[in-house]
A and B are shown apart, each in its own frame.
Chain A
Amino acid sequence: MSIPPASVEQAQKAMSSTLLICEHCDTVHRRRPLARGEVARCMRCNAVLERHQRIGLDTMLALVVTVMVVFVQANVWPIITLGFNGEQIHATLWGIIIMMWKEHSQVVSVLAAATLFFFPLCKMGILGWLLVFGRQGRRAPGFVPLMVVLHYIAPWTMSEVFVLGVLVSIVKAHMYFDVTPDVGVFAYAALALLITVFAGIDLRQLWDRIPEEPA
C-alpha cells in the first residue's frame, strides 16, 4: 500500500457514509437517506441494514434518564408480596439474588445479578455518559472503549424476560397463596415498555452522530 495513512482514513470515512455492509451476509450496498419509518433491508438475505433514526440525541438522553428513574424504582420496591396465614413475604430483586446464593444456586444468583442488575446498569450508565457529552457535540472521555463495551453487553440484558417470569410466578404462587403485585412489578412493566422503544434504536449511529474532534 503506497497511500499515506491519513488519506486511507479519509477514504474510509467517505466509504462509511456511502456504503453499507450487511452484517449477516457481507453484501455491500449503496447507502441512501431513509425517510421517516423506512427500514433498509438487505437484497440478498433480507436482514435489516438500517432503520430511519428519528430519535435525536436529546430524546435519547431523556429516555435513558427515564429508564434510570424506573430502574431505581424497580430495584427499590418489592415486586410481589405473598401472604400465608397472616404472614407476609416481600420479594425484591436483590432479595431474590441473595436468596439464590444462600440456597446453593450461586450460578443462578450470579446470572440474575448480571443480566438483571449489573449489565442494564452499565448499559444505561455508559449511554448516559456518552450522551451528556454527545449532545454538546463532544466525544466523552473513553468514548471508543465504552462504545465497544456497549456492543458486547447489549445481548446480555434480560429485564423483559424477568417481567414475564414475574407474571408466571404470580400465577404459580396464586394456586396456594394470596399474591399481591407490588410497586416494583409496575416499574418492571414500564421498564419492559421502555426497552422495547430502545430496541429500535441503533446505538452504532453514535459513531457518526458524535464526530471526532479534529486533532
Chain B
Amino acid sequence: MAALPRAHELGLIGCHVCGQICRDTQVDHAACPRCGSSLHRRKPYSAARTWALLIAAFIFYIPANVLPIMRTVSLGDVDDNTILSGVIELWVKGSPDLAVIVFTASIVVPMLKFLVMSTLLLSAHRGTSWARRQRALLYRLVEFIGYWSMLDVFVVALLTALVQFGFFSQVEPLPGVVYFGLTVILTMLASQSFDPRLIWDCKDDDD
C-alpha cells in the first residue's frame, strides 16, 4: 500500500466542490480555478464542527423520542403516539414488515449515526490505523442512509393532512416530530462536515 501516493504528498489538492485537481500553492484562501470555491486540503474545522452538530443532534433526539410526535383524536378519545409506540402499533395492528422499516429509519439509523460518527471522530483524533477500510465503509454507509430517517416526519405530515374528519377522527402533529426533523437535519449536516480523509491521516501507513 506504500505505493499509493496521497494528494498532499504530491502537492496537489482536489477541489471539494467540482473535483478539479489543483496544485497546492500553500496560499491561504486559494480558490479553485474552475468553480471558484475555496480550496482546502481537509474540510475546515471538520472535527469541531462535526462534534458540535452531532451533540446538538443528540440533544434534540431526546425530546424527539420522549415527546409524542402525533395525536389521534377519535370520538373524543385522545391517543398520543411517540415514535416507538407508533412502531409498536404498526407491528400489532398492521404489518410487521413495515414496522421493521419504520423502526430502522427512526430508531436504528439515528442511533447508528451517533455511534458511528463518534467512533469515527474519536479514532480519527487518536490517529489510529485500526480498521481503516471498514471505518471508511461505515462512513459511506452513514452518508448513504442518513436521509431516510425523514420517513416518520413525512408519515406524520401525510396523516395530519389526510385524517381531518373533525369530531370523528383527527390527527395533529405534536412537538416531538419537530425535534425529530431537526435531529435528522443536524445528523446529515454532521456527516457532511466530517472529512473522511482524516481516517487516513496517520503516521504509519502500512495496512
Given A84-B165, A99-B160: A23 and B14 interface contact (C-beta under 8 Å): yes
Q: Give the interface residue-count category, chain B.
A: 35 or more
How long is the Cα–Cα vector from A207 to B137 in the complex, in angstroms? 28
Question: Are B173 and A24 in contact, CB atoms less than 8 angstroms apart?
Answer: no
Question: Are A161 and B148 in contact, CB atoms less than 8 angstroms apart?
Answer: yes
Tell me the total A-B contact number using a CB cutoff of 8 A: 209
Shortest CB-to-CB span from A101 to chain B, Å, is: 10
How long is the Cα–Cα vector from A26 to B7 in the complex, in angstroms? 6
Which B residues have a C-beta under 8 Å from some C-beta of A? 1, 4-8, 10, 12, 14, 16-23, 25, 33-37, 74, 89-90, 93-95, 98, 101-102, 105, 132-133, 136-137, 139-140, 147-148, 150-151, 153-165, 168-169, 172-173, 177-178, 181-182, 185, 188, 192, 196-197, 199-200
In this complex, the member of A24, A26, A87, A165 whose beta carbon has the largest number of chain B beta carbons within 10 angstroms is: A26
A21 at the interface (CB under 8 A from B): yes
Cβ of B139: which chain A residues have Cβ within 8 Å of it? 24
Q: How would you classify the secondary structure of chain A's contact residues: helix, strand, loop or mixed?
A: helix
Cβ of A23: which chain B residues have Cβ within 8 Å of it? 14, 16, 19, 196
Cβ of B169: which chain A residues have Cβ within 8 Å of it? 84, 176-177
Q: Give the interface residue-count category, chain A.
A: 35 or more
Question: Are B162 and A169 in contact, CB atoms less than 8 angstroms apart?
Answer: yes
Cβ of B5: which chain A residues have Cβ within 8 Å of it? 27-28
How long is the Cα–Cα vector from A63 to B133 in the complex, in angstroms? 36
Q: Hey, what's the 0/1 contact readout for A148-179 against B, CB within 8 Å counting as 1?
A: 10010001001001101111110111111100
Cβ of B16: which chain A residues have Cβ within 8 Å of it? 23
Cβ of B74: which chain A residues have Cβ within 8 Å of it? 176
Cβ of B10: which chain A residues have Cβ within 8 Å of it? 28
Shortest CB-to-CB span from A181 to chain B, Å, is: 12
Pull 27 A–B residue pairs with CB atoms less than 8 Å apart, ordered by A.
A8-B33, A9-B33, A11-B23, A25-B200, A27-B6, A46-B137, A82-B163, A95-B161, A96-B158, A97-B157, A100-B157, A100-B160, A103-B160, A104-B173, A105-B178, A107-B178, A111-B185, A164-B101, A166-B154, A169-B158, A169-B162, A171-B95, A172-B94, A172-B155, A174-B94, A176-B74, A176-B169
